[in-house]
Amino acid sequence: MRVAGAAKLVVAVAVFLLTFYVISQVFEIKMDASLGNLFARSALDTAARSTKPPRYKCGISKACPEKHFAFKMASGAANVVGPKICLEDNVLMSGVKNNVGRGINVALVNGKTGEVLDTKYFDMWGGDVAPFIEFLKSIQDGTIVLMGTYDDGATKLNDEARRLIAELGSTSITSLGFRDNWVFCGGKGIKTKSPFEQHIKNNKDTNKYEGWPEVVEMEGCIPQKQD
Per-residue pLDDT averaged across 148-170, rounded? 98
Would you state the pLDDT for residue 5?
52
Maximum C-alpha span of the chain: 122
pLDDT band at residue 12 using 50, 70 and 90 as cut-offs: low
The model's pLDDT over 169-216, given as tens digits with 9 standing for 90+, comes to 999 999 999 999 999 999 999 989 999 999 999 999 999 888 899 999
The model's pLDDT over 91-143, given as tens digits with 9 standing for 90+, comes to 999 999 999 999 999 999 999 999 999 999 999 999 999 999 999 999 999 99
Dihedral angle over CA of 217, 222, 170, 90, nearest 10: 50
Per-residue pLDDT averaged across 3-25, rounded? 47
What's the CA angle centered on 195, arms 140 and 112, to 5 degrees? 35
Angle at which helices 129-138 and 159-166 cross, to 10° = 30
Per-residue pLDDT averaged across 55-69, rounded? 96
